[in-house]
Structure 1
Amino acid sequence: MGSEIADRATFEQIRYAQCWEDADILVQALDIQPHHVCLSIASAGDNTLALLSRSPQRVIALDLSPAQLACLELRIAAYRELSHTELLVLIGSGDGRDRQDLYRRCRSQLSPDARYFWDSHSAEIDRGIGHAGKFERYFQLFRRWVLPLVHNRQRVEQLLSGGSLTRRREFYQREWDTWQWRSLFRIFFSRFVMGRAGRDPSFFKYVEGNVADRILQRTRYALTELNPAENPYLQWILTGRHTTALPYALHPENFDAIRANLDRLEWRCSSVEDFLSDIGENAIDRYNLSDIFEYLSPANYHQLLQRLINASRPQARLAYWNMLAPRSRPDSMADQLQPLTDLAQALYAQDKAFFYSAFVVEEVI
């Protein structure tokens, strides 16, 4: 079985310079133990590294894109060579003008391919590698050209200051939720604009309904029910940096644990399907599957899910997100895979990467 998405999209550029899924809920969902072997979609590397904080026996990162694996490799090198403060500067979360020097300190740790990639992307290093992806440039367009049309910097700062739940709800209703905000949001986050400036258009093949309205509803939740002062994803979208919050892998208290476990991590440029052909049965305990099922037809999703089950050890757990296309275990697999619905819904209510429509946690029986 080949990879459906590999036939429909190209992978030469960095699509995601950061992981836009909340690793705080991912780590809780997977409940990783020291004897566990984990399979993780690499993406930019943040959430794969987050799994190392729990000291698993082994983490295997996969991605179809050499550019995404170059992002992972540079992060690994940064954890080895830099201090926590310097790591934040390299990412772009912290201020600093010496990013080229930080890169030179990491460069010897990179494979020849990753070294060539980053040597050819010095402008991205200057800006901070967390800005280097197509998705991040999409958000940059939003905050530079769209957001100022409806909200000035002072109002953005007021929003991000958070406060009590009552204060957040009142501020959103009174100051933020204008007709101009809703109108421009619906245009910028429409299927058409997002498919051309943000995600690959092919990623919307199995999406039904109004994309912008669904994302607007989740955004309202993030700006009111969740605290913007504690939301690194929202802060980056609105300001281009982390202000008062950091993603899990960048928390200072997780830095040393991730660094100590880097030797337990390996990575491959491979589809999940090809990897499963090699790994055999009874091999994996925990899966970080990002939102890869979003891009598959229901039939291909079911086939891949069956192969993941076959590769799993007893009580293995799968965690993945739905953004716009609904994916969850079919009834035909009820005797093999159990949805952990209460856990998933409780964690989804805390999900700071707010644009997803569902978080799914399932356990092999």
Structure 2
Amino acid sequence: MEFMIGDSTILHPHCDPMTYPHLFPRGDKGWYSELEKIDQSRNRKRVSMLQFYSYRVAIRATFSAIHCGGKLFKQYIVDAYIKTEQNRLPFYRQNQKVPRVELYQGLMDHLANEAHIEGLRPGRVIILPSSFQGNPRAMQQNYQDAMAVVRKYRKPDLFITFTCNPTWREIQEQLFPGQTPSDRPDLITRVFKLKLNELIDDIFKKHILGRTIANVFVIEFQKRGLPHCHMLIILNSEDKIKSDNHIDRIVCSEMPDAARFPQLHECGHDCANIKLQRSIQECAAAQGGLEWDEIKAHIDARYVKAAWRVFEFPLHDKSHAIIRLAAHLPIGMYQNERKKKERTIKERRKMSERKKSER
């Protein structure tokens, strides 16, 4: 399935040079589906879209107009990841019977209730499964995995936030003349990932804070484009924090002076309430009544970590593998439509062979 941009598509090799003529003045081709690898393996002979853009934004010794593009480079890398994601989403929309289960009773009940309130009839349901990273279902499963670790090893002992500093020497030394760190999201991402790896080695291999038995971490990005990592660590019983002196050896903090920094202290009520709600007219305009489209909701509200995702760095990780059990309410078992049909075909084939043998 191709997506039109003007008179071109995101799958056309000329899409990139036509969209960014300043970055590709010679008309260098972009990704296309028939692009093959130089060293072909048994598993994959063609280059994926994500692999292509990861290769294109890599730093090399020769001049690169992409890395000197400033804001245009940031727009390009966002478009690069958006195209890779947009190329995957139609599969989920067109193959709802493959990833979705036969019964989403709770979701259907909620949709029917909302439709009744709005005076409409329930429409179709489009599911974005948890295998697609970045959607609420994936977040919920990762949360449950983290809670499974807590149930096994008890509550965490340390909550560590590791932030990116754009004035790091490794970032400043690699900037081109006249550039600022905000002009190079690729450089910030790679340096932060390397420093995060060093921090992980210090904590979990060198045990600078004591021996650990479990951990969970997640990567987030600030609105200004800088990444940070939230890490939960469960220490061994012998190394757990047991006194104030132990805390002071690990971390030190002070309350800021109220006279010098009044904005950091209590200044009265400062609360804004915002409600997001679809209008009745918009609901009524939907085909088939009130719809539940998780793919559209994801596209309308996504916040893209483009450089991080293009380099295929993990968004989260944990120390233990979690096996998810298919628990369900009565008469609410999960059924995969494709497997159900395959099982039905096999049963009919066996029945037909049995009848032939009886003859």
Structure ID, larger Rg: 2
User: Of Structure 1 and Structure 2, which has the larger fraction of its residues in helix?
Assistant: 1
Identify the TM-score tier after normalising by the shorter chain: under 0.3
TM-score by length of 1: 0.22
Normalised TM-score (structure 2): 0.23
